[in-house]
Structure 1
Amino acid sequence: MGDANLDAYSRRLRRIHETTVGEPRQLISASWRRSKAAGVDPESRAAPLVYDGSLIRDVRESHPLQPVLPMLAETLRRMADESEHIMIVTDAEGRILWRDGDLGTMRRADVVGLADGHHWSEISVGTNGIGTALATRKPVHVYSEEHLLRVLHCWSCSSAPIIDPDTDTVLGCVDVSGITRSLHPATVALVATTAKLAEARLALMMHERDERLRRKYDSLVQRTGVLITKTGRVLAGDHSGRLGARITLPEPGGTDCPAGILEPFFDGYLLRPASRTEALPLRLAFLGEGPPIARYGDRFLTLSLRHAEILTLLALYPSGLTAEQLSYYLYGDEGNPATIRPEIYRLRAQLGEAVAAKPYRLVAPLTADFLELRQLLTANDPEAVARAYAGPLLPRSESPEIRSARDELEVQVRASLLTHGSADALWTYAQTVNGRDDFQILERVAAALPSSDHRAAAARARLSP
């Protein structure tokens, strides 16, 4: 395309950009809509800086693309030798990890943040080669006024995502950018080829790791487990094929998954069948003023308040809760899911396989005094309710959800006894922390029992000012 045609195309795109109507390419039109929905200001002057110079080296060294950066740099530099371009590699979020190229072009790029550590996702700077390639998982050429930001109208860029051959997730993006007149749209084909070269190199490295792991596995005298990579791919030992190509790995620090028990094995895992022994029963005693007690099998455990709260919530929600839900139920809007996971790990150290993950739930045969009390209330048996009620549910808990459950139980117990309870049941309730000074309960006891009954005398004494 000659200069005259480029100028004409640029003028046409400028008119489109002004009116945001009649976008020439559906890919760009869709990107503009996403960018505007994210609130990107077309008058923004530069991409935001997210990694300064003191951090970028460490970020680059720890990134999965680090092993292929030398190959990418060598390939793209050859392209730059013939033009005034810059070459860029980003992470999956569009943050620039590496840049090289023509010095004059890099100085101009610094002004708009097209440099190490700056963020070029669509939600940061709108439509651009890097952000749009990452959003669509496709090679993209964005020319001149196709950029949403006006300050980028003198730039064009060709970008392609790099896909992890192991997990099929986006690892990052490779990009060539330059002043509009110097970058031909056909550059995107060269950039896409470079991205494919990086993926091929990563695939080769993955297969080499797999082979090393298989050799370690084959050297075992007894191969009783299934060989799993650190990303969950099944490599060997699943002769029936029941696991498929990949399994879901547990959260960091966990060892159990629906398929069995994972054991670390060099750079992967051995998956062994879960124990077929009968699950130990779990009994929770959380009503009343004493410390919360759990019985797991034959062991009695005195629990911290936080662990008792977590077990209470898991018992109230048997289908399970995520870390976010647990955090909200425990702390309300101030909760942080990151504080839940270490508590769960410590709880599982005491209760072992009774607590499962994804979502967090109780898998042991469960009984609990507060759940049994709920059932008795439903059965409308006030005498049994009075015997089962030992006091409020975790009275020291400030968890919003547990306070709500506690208050609900209190109201139901008191209403059941006042409506249908015998004098014996009312007196039993009067020995609890909430019933001790309950004026209405004590009046009923004093009225229902003979004046010679010591319980009636005690009730009258409590009622006296």
Structure 2
Amino acid sequence: MGNDSTTRALARGHEAAHSGHEAGPVIRPLIAESWRRSREAGADPGVRSAPLVYDADVVADVRAAHPLDPHLPMLRDLLRNVADEAEYLMVITDAEGHALWSDGPPRVRRQADGIGLLEGFCWSEGAVGTNGIGTALAEGRPEFVYAAEHLAPVLHGWSCAGAPITDPDTGSVIACVDVSATVDALHPATVALVAAAARLAEAHLDLEMRRRDERLRERYLRRQGAPGVLVTSTGRVVGGDPGMWNGRRLPVPVPGQRLTLPDGRAAVAEPIGEAFLLRPSGDGGGSAPAGRPLLSLSMLGSDQPRALLDGAPVPLSLRHAEILALLATHPGGLSGDRLSWHLYGEDGSPGTVRAEIHRLRGQLGGVVRAKPYRLDCQIDADFLTVARLLDDGDVAAAARLCRGELLPRSDAPGIRAERDELAVRMRRQVLDRGGIDSLWAFAQTEPGRVDLEVLQRLDAVLPRTDPRRAAVALRGDRLLDPE
């Protein structure tokens, strides 16, 4: 490709195909199939530019929440020298083809501006037809699109090479890296360059994932001695017995769900922070592991708080849930007076607390200690995990795990204080640093459903074609005009 005769032959093939005739052998089958997909998706060959999906003031928020954001310096360093010397434009999009980053010489950027090959514009096949970004995403592999191979004639002066980037954690495509230039400047071999850039990005994501996996194993298997199979929230096995299962994918667990392990045994999915422990039901569901017992607490966003002691359910009244939450947030223990104040305020008394502790011990045994009152066990609580994730700056994981407020039915002064602090931190970080998924997850909680600022931010960052926009707009309208 690249000579005048090839370009003219492609143009004739393009004209024939779009006039209802045979395109001829010069049109690659890949391109003919992409033209078909594009037309079925509603692409208009007469389009003059890619459509704008993100305004300039929104792109920064979307970029900050994308998994590739920390790795942009590496990708820029890899491609910038080539792009500057050869006058190429580098573009990186999300999985839907929305351009989030671009880099290149000023002359090429000015040319690209005329067709919307810059941040905020959509380059899916459905938006602009066959192109290096949308076609690579549709095919799931690196692709090169040359001149009149583009569906839209306005793009016939360009060539582009794109390669999808896959998240090793979920196995899903999350981005596309593309190099574009005018027809006479870009060589088909550029596809090898973008493929190498995509593989390098995936290697960095894989290293990041392995570090998270190691932290999970350290927290839940080595330090706590919890038995079972450790699975991420995306369904990857990262630890447990047998170790040969590490790396295998299972259906994404649901709390309390019964599922089948690779060896055929039934297991129950127990949520532990940002992961799941799959306990084989043949183990009795409550057999104690070696070392200290593990108390798992789920108290966010539900009227029915749950507790598991080494996998065995523990029935909880609201008062007992409040006590466990308070002791979990005070690992050093609380005196009778302090616990009474946290539970009842000025109307409480240590005697009332002693009676409640006695009843709680009947369910949990020696896990609840006195003088001071404290929990003598390993603790995994959803509200503590959310707080830790916020400390670490992992807003996306915190938003996924935070299903609502801490013990929403509780009026205990200590619980109200913990609830308000966590809610304020969660909301602030979602607004300041959260992406679409974090904002949407928060908007599904009780406080988020009536948070006008969150809904307005969501409305601004959601692509125009996203089906969630209708629900967001409706909620926002109802808050602005409750009548």
User: TM class, shorter-chain normalised?
Assistant: 0.5 to 0.7
- 2:151 aligned with 1:159: no
Determine which of 75, 88, 96 is the counterpart of 2:91.
88
Residue 36 of structure 1 corresponds to which residue in structure 2?
A: 39
Alignment partner of 1:104 is 2:107: yes
Residue 255 (structure 1) aligns with: 255
Q: Residue in 2 aligned with 1:203?
A: 206
> Is 1:86–1:176's contact at 8 Å kept on the other side of the alignment?
yes
Distance 1:73 1:266, change over 3 A: farther
Whether the 8 Å CA contact 2:256–2:270 is kept in 1: the answer is: no
Q: Which of 1 and 2 has higher RCO (CA within 8 Å, sep 6+)?
A: 2
Deviation at 1:90, TM superposition (A): 0.4
Aligned to 2:147: 144
1:53 equivalent in alignment to 2:56 = yes
Match of 1:355 in 2: none
The residue number in structure 2 matching 1:6 is 3
Q: Which residue of 2 aligns with 1:228?
A: 231
Aligned-partner SS, 1:191? helix
CA distance in 1, matches of 2:269, 2:57: 38
The reply to whether residue 245 of structure 1 matches residue 242 of structure 2 is no
**1:270 alignment partner, one of 272, 277, 294:** 277
**In 2, Cα distance between equivalents of 1:257 and 1:127:** 43
| Residue in structure 2 matched with residue 73 of structure 1 by the alignment | 76
Question: 1:227-276 deviations in whole A, cap 9, x for unaligned?
Answer: 122322111223397899223235xxx52223355444454233345687
Q: 1:226 deviation in Å?
A: 2.3
* SS of alignment partner, residue 215 of structure 1: helix
Question: Partner letter of residue 231 of structure 1?
Answer: T
Comparing 224-233 and 191-200, the one that deviates more: 224-233
Task: Say whether the 8 Å CA contact 1:42–1:150 is kept in structure 2.
Answer: yes
Pick the aligned partner of 2:118 from 94, 109, 115.
115
Paired with 1:141 and 1:220, the residues of 2 have a C-alpha distance of 50
C-alpha distance in structure 2 between counterparts of 1:217 and 1:151, whole Å: 56
Question: Against the structure 1 CA distance between its residues 204 and 276, is the aligned structure 2 distance closer, same or farther, given a 3 Å change threshold?
Answer: closer
Q: Give the match for residue 15 of structure 1.
A: 12
- What letter corresponds to residue 13 of structure 2 in structure 1? I
The 3-state SS of whatever aligns with 2:241 is: coil
Paired with 1:127 and 1:45, the residues of 2 have a C-alpha distance of: 14
The 3 A distance-change label for structure 1 pair 152 and 269 is same
The CA deviation string for residues 16-58 of structure 1, in whole angstroms up to 9 with x for no partner, is 1101122521111110111112221111101111111111111
1:312-367 deviations in Å (ceiling 9; x for gaps) = xxxxxxxxxxxxxxxxxxxxxxxxxxxxxxxxx9xxx9xxxxxxxxxxxxxxxxxx
One-letter amino acid of the structure 1 residue matched with residue 40 of structure 2: A
- Say which of 21, 29, 33 aligns to 1:26: 29
Indicate the SS of the match to 1:197: helix
Matched position secondary structure for 1:159: strand
Partner residue of 2:173 out of 156, 170, 173: 170
For residues 198 and 276 of structure 1, the distance between their equivalents in structure 2, rounded to whole angstroms, comes to 41
Distance in 2 (alpha carbons) for counterparts of 1:153 and 1:243: 48
Structure 1: runs of 5 or more not aligned = 278-344, 350-465
Residues 62-82 of structure 1: CA deviation (Å, up to 9, x unaligned): 112222222111111111121
CA contact (8 A) 1:213 1:266 kept: no
Q: Tell me how far apart the structure 1 counterparts of residues 141 and 73 of structure 2 sit (CA, whole Å).
A: 23
Residues 83 and 41 (structure 1), Cα distance of their counterparts in 2 relative to 1, 3 Å cut: same
Partner SS state of residue 39, structure 1: coil
**Whole-angstrom distance in 2 between the partners of 1:35 and 1:227:** 42
Listed as ranges, the matches of 1:212-223 within 5 Å are: 212-223=215-226
Q: 3-state SS of the aligned residue for 1:271?
A: strand
Whole-angstrom CA distance in 2 between matches of 1:77 and 1:221: 47
* 1:15 aligned partner, one-letter code: R
Computing the radius of gyration from Cα coordinates, the structure with the larger value is 1
What is the distance in 1 between the residues matched to 2:103 and 2:81?
11
CA distance in structure 1 between the partners assigned to 2:208 and 2:116 by the alignment: 33
> CA 1:214 to 1:24, structure 2 compared with 1: closer, same or farther past 3 Å?
same
2:239–2:246 Cα contact (<8 Å) kept: no
Question: What letter corresponds to residue 6 of structure 1 in structure 2?
Answer: N
Pair 1:276–1:262, CA change in 2 (3 A): closer
Alpha-carbon separation, structure 2, partners of 1:63 and 1:13: 37
Assess if the C-alpha contact under 8 Å between 2:221 and 2:240 holds in 1.
no
Q: Match for 2:111: what amino acid?
A: R
Relative distance call for 1:221 and 1:171 in structure 2 (3 A) is closer
Aligned length: 278
Q: Deviation digits for residues 119-169 of structure 1, max 9, x if unmatched? A: 100011100000000000111110100000010000000111111222221
Q: Within 2, Cα distance between the matches of 1:134 and 1:235?
A: 29
Normalised TM-score (structure 1): 0.55
Change (3 A) 1:196 1:258: same
Separation in 1, partners of 2:42, 2:124: 13
1:380-391 residue pairs with structure 2 within 5 A?
Answer: none
CA distance in 1, matches of 2:77, 2:35: 33
Q: Percent identity?
A: 52
User: How far does the alpha carbon of each residue in 1:371-416 deviate from its partner, in whole angstroms, 9 at most, with x for none?
Assistant: xxxxxxxxxxxxxxxxxxxxxxxxxxxxxxxxxxxxxxxxxxxxxx
RMSD: 3.0
Letter of the 1:257 counterpart:
Q
CA contact (8 A) 1:249 1:257 kept: no
Bigger Cα displacement from structure 2, 254-263 vs 80-89: 254-263
The 5 Å alignment of 1:174-185 reads 174-185=177-188
